[in-house]
Structure 1
Amino acid sequence: MDAAMTPEMSEVTAERPLKQAIWRGWRKKCPACGTGPMMKSYLKVRDTCTVCGEELHHQRADDGPAYLTILVVGHLLVPFFHFGYVRFRPDPMLFSAILAVLAVAMSLYLLPRFKGLLVGVQWAKRLHGFGTGQNDD
């Protein structure tokens, strides 16, 4: 049965490198070619790659990037909050303002990268119609 597979069928079932797709997504590049920009605005994913033509409109990141961002920012700031307050005893309003600015800056940096990462995972695992020629919602 494997000998009867057409080149199109083997292309659809071929393994895609997950780590490479995750890294390309983290850099906000197309998971297929790694050179084309994935985003056309801050969080809007292009329908197709401008370099290789890979269809990216299948992606369904939804709330995943926001949850990951909250998880990472929270886990990074809590130890900083504890250490900073115990060690330096700053004014609570000043410390809150500093932590708020830090949290917003980290969130703005991480959010589009996590979205790209999730799109890369979906592309590598052929989820939601990536690589099948049809939408498998």
Structure 2
Amino acid sequence: MSAPATSQLAPRSVGEAMKRGAMRRCPACGEGPIFAGYLKVRDHCPNCGEALHHQRADDGPAYFTILVVSHLSAPLLLAIYMLYRPSSAVLIATFLGGAALLSLLLLPVFKGAFIGLQWAKRMHGFGDEPDRPVEP
């Protein structure tokens, strides 16, 4: 039996799916956790059974994390230096630690959002079958 064409399937909300993914929840139901660890994606949602193993986030979340962290850090680094003139060692230690912490916090957020986008757009196997209602 062939899979239904994407145009015949009900549209999925991209914003809602990305928001659910960014909150580390299943893009389909918004309830089940999407990660089994820090960045390890579950094969299926424990709440609704949605298959999540299709995801192909690859390097996208890392690139977005670098983009956001560097765009936040660079102006802040310049402002702190111009206002307070801290020593180089203090400046480097502070901003290295801050950039590392912010990167670790943002990486799963971006990865979840990428998975939500892929689910909503029915990419990489997420659209092979029609949506099923969430079972209680």
TM-score, normalised relative to structure 1: 0.88
Query: 1:105 corresponds to which residue?
Result: 101
- 1:65 partner amino acid: P
Query: 2:64 corresponds to which residue?
Result: 68
- 2:34 partner amino acid: M
Higher relative contact order structure (alpha carbons within 8 Å, sequence separation ≥ 6): 2
- Distance in 1 (CA, whole Å) between partners of 2:52 and 2:34 is 8
Q: Is the 8 A contact 2:4 2:128 kept in 1?
A: no
Distance apart, 1:38 and its partner CA: 0.1
Structure 1 residue runs without a partner (length 5+): 1-7
Q: Is the 8 A contact 2:44 2:53 kept in 1?
A: yes
1:83 to 79, 84, 100: 79
Identity of aligned residues (%): 52
Distance apart, 1:13 and its partner CA: 1.5
Distance apart, 1:10 and its partner CA: 8.4
Structure 2 residue runs without a partner (length 5+): 130-136
1:37 aligns with 2:27: no
CA shift in 2, pair 1:10/1:67, >3 Å: closer
Work out the number of aligned pairs and report it.
126
CA displacement 1:65-113 (0-9 Å, x = unmatched): 1000000000000010000001110001111000011001100000001
TM-score, normalised relative to structure 2: 0.89
Secondary structure of 1:101's match?
helix
- 2:36 partner amino acid: K
Cα RMSD of the aligned pairs, angstroms, is: 1.5
1:59 to 55, 61, 76: 55
